[in-house]
Amino acid sequence: MKTLVLKFGGTSVGNIDRIKKVCKIIANYKKKKTKVLVISSAMSGVTNDLINKSKLVSNNFEKAEYDTLLSTGEQASCALIAGRLNHIGFKSRSWMSWQIPIISEGPHSGARINRVIVKNLNDYLKSGGIPIITGFQGVNNKFRLTTIGRSGSDATAIMLARYIKADECIIYTDVDGVYTTDPRQYKNAKKIKKISYDEMLEMASLGSKVMQPTSVQDAKLNNIDIQVKSSFINKSGTLITGSSKTFSNQIITGISSTKNDAKITIVGVKDRPGIAASIFKPLSKNLINVDMVVQNISLNGKETDLTFTIKSEDLKKTEKIIKQNKKLSYKKLSFDKDVSKVSIIGVGMISTPGITYRMFQALASKKINILVISTSEIKISVLISAKQVKKAVAVLHKEFKLD
């Protein structure tokens, strides 16, 4: 008998009517003589409401209690789904992470799932039951609830699919698949039928909000195919897979863009071994993620200009850290918040020459200036003015025949 893991996001269970619709989807799978295991997020808005409540209580809310508080959102949605399924004639019950248990490790609010003990779950599935499991959380070796980061329910679904040896993992969300670019930004964006783990990982880390990067990474490591579908309309979705079969010969698969980047340039830094490490070490200690990095050596070879990007919300903290760094001397420090990163992604570029030229030429045709460049085997990213993102996405979409 086929075993499916179904995961429903916050918008899919956002109100009682949507929960009833989700239960119809679950029932349809169950009627096909399929074992069905369900993961649910909290109802949309609930987690943010709980976060706001914690801030009203304390501006330094204890982290273990913070995780306990936030985990109640998933508990409520799972109980409602299980209650509805029982009402329409199906055997179902909710499962908290500690009841399974889902074993996690790492810090509160940033834990990772280590393993899942599935004996009781498998027994329940064999008895014909539909387990409804809280996403986004686990239990650590001190028997405290932990959360695994925002959008962590995807990671829960993938890890459960691994441990119960599911045939398929289907992520239900408010979009009907992964698109070549954000359809809200560009109306000619097209749905991708099939995408590789590596391409999806790049798109997720470069701004696509459909999947969390760590979840895609977990799927790749455990070789679990994922379907991304809409819970609102009955349409085929996007398959995220490692299989090379039936991939199109499209060179570029998608285009991603970001909205909250900032560029920092340190001018006139003494060029000596270890200087870059002395700049980035305190940033790392303060959990500031550095993305694109460019270094330019002066003509005399004694000084260097260092440019790098971070998230704009970290800008003030970064400025303070650099100015307080006694190991660092420089001539000038400059910042630019009005920048965005635009990236083209595709495994086809590995074997296709001229992609870099085509990208730069297309941007130049619209007088879009490139500030910083970074590349990998399957992506090219450029930093440009935030005002020109829509224009850049449109011209690149046309250049690589994604329209």
Q: At residue 55, what is the residue type? A: K
Q: Within 13 Å and on the Cβ side, how many CA atoms surround 80?
A: 21
Average pLDDT over residues 148-166: 89
Q: In degrees rounded to 5, what are phi and psi of residue 293?
A: -135, 130
* Residue 245 confidence class, pLDDT cut points 50, 70, 90: low
Whole-angstrom distance, CA of residue 219 vs CA of residue 222: 5
Q: Where are the domains of the chain?
A: 3-174
As a whole number of angstroms, the distance between CA 203 and CA 190 comes to 15
205 band by pLDDT with thresholds 50, 70 and 90: confident
Quick check: helix, strand or coil at residue 169? strand
Give the per-residue pLDDT at 242.
85
Assess contact for 228 and 177: CB atoms under 8 A: yes
Q: pLDDT digits over 56-81, tens only?
A: 999 999 999 999 999 999 999 999 99
pTM greater than 0.85 (yes/no): no
pLDDT above 80 (res 206): no
DSSP string, 252-267: --EEEE-SSEEEEEEE
Domain 3-174 class in CATH: alpha beta
Mean pLDDT within 384-400: 95
In whole angstroms, give the CA distance from residue 159 to residue 216. Answer: 11
Query: Which pLDDT does position 214 carry in this prediction?
Result: 80
DSSP string, 185-253: T-TT--B-SEEEHHHHHHHHHTT--SS-HHHHHHHHHHT--EEEEESSS----EEEES--TT----S--
